[in-house]
Chains A and B, each alone.
Chain A
Amino acid sequence: MARSLIPLLIFIVLAGFLYVGLGLDPRKIPSALIEKPAPEFTLPTLLDPSKQTSSGDFKSKAYLLSVWASWCVSCRLEHPVLMDLAKNTDIPIVGLNYKDQREDAVRWLNKYGNPYTVSGYDIKGRVGIDWGVYKVPETFVVGPKGIIYYKHLGPLSNEILERDILPLIKKLNKGVS
């Protein structure tokens, strides 16, 4: 009796693995940059090409780096989340405007609102490559010492913000002050 159950057990184990596999997203690749120093960049700002923004500007406290573009449909999805975040907290949101046309991006911000403290204009996507960007929108949490602690692929939601990002930023900023 016990012996005849073995194939059934093997089947159940296999089915279990396959079921878990169904739920995994093969596009979610662990970032190679977690716990590594954030790649440095210096870019002209989106709104004023004569000004520049660089990774060194945000070293005093934890910030979000949000990769976005006007051509990116799911950036519209996360946009209200970022707007709320900008309104209700003082966490800097650094935009990385990725492979976009300046007019389109400015029009997008004027139309829907601008949650970004500043946006770097990365038309060639070179900074995006340094940050390992391959799926816009992406959101990074960078600590006060310029270390990347977290990366989210795809649009942000309030859930992810409350569960992962806000507690992490609180913890990171506590270590400083």
Chain B
Amino acid sequence: MKISRILIGMVFGFFLLHVHAAIEPLSFKNQEQENQYRRLLAEVRCLVCQNQSLAESNAGLAGDLRKIIYEEVQKNASDEEIVDFLVSRYGDFVLYRPPVKSSTYLLWYGPLALILVGVTVVVIMIRKRGKIEQNALSEEEQKEIKGLLDKAKASEGKES
């Protein structure tokens, strides 16, 4: 009983260790630099665990990149300089918001194009439906047809 309790405690203890791994105590010269650091961490993808940002990831590489970003921020580097540093090594893929250029047009404008296609299809369908209604007979024409039919019935009755 006691041993199992200790074991359970150890397991949960490990979870705690894990949770704390991504948090590094850092000091910043001013609030602006801290904001810049946090902003960049949220923008950059961790390459080892691809659906996490650098801020969220516990991977070793993410830790190294955080450190580099921290150092650059301390050196008063601009966002652009730091992003260029990362992109020149890992490509646009590291950015959660890749730049708009010829190879990313599909990514940026694809969804919009799909919406346009959808809207076009809907518009065409509505127009077609409208035409069918336009083709419908007017009241006068209806009366005329009714008259013709009645006449035909009447003449049929006479013949038989």
**Chain A interface residues (CB < 8 Å from chain B):** 26-27, 29-33, 39, 99, 124-126, 129-132, 134-135
Q: Which of B1-9, B24-32, B83-91, B127-135 contacts A (4 or more CB under 8 A)?
A: B83-91
For B, the interface residue count at a CB cutoff of 8 angstroms equals 15
B89 touches A33 (CB 8 A): yes
Q: Which of B50, B61, B90 contacts A32 (CB 8 A)?
A: B90
- Name the residue of chain B whose CB is nearest to the CB of A39: B89
Task: Choose among A33, A99, A126, A134 the residue with the greatest number of B CB atoms under 10 Å from its CB.
Answer: A134
Binary contact readout B39-80 vs A (1 if CB under 8 angstroms, 0 otherwise): 000000001101000000000110011001000000000000
A131 touches B93 (CB 8 A): no
Q: Which residues of A contact B65 (CB under 8 A)?
A: 129
Binary contact readout B84-113 vs A (1 if CB under 8 angstroms, 0 otherwise): 000111111100000000000000000000
Q: Which residues of A contact B88 (CB under 8 A)?
A: 32
Count A-B pairs with CB separation below 8 Å.
Answer: 39
CA distance A99 to B64 in the complex (A): 11
State how many angstroms separate the Cβ of A149 from the closest Cβ of chain B: 16
Q: Which residues of A contact B47 (CB under 8 A)?
A: 29, 134-135
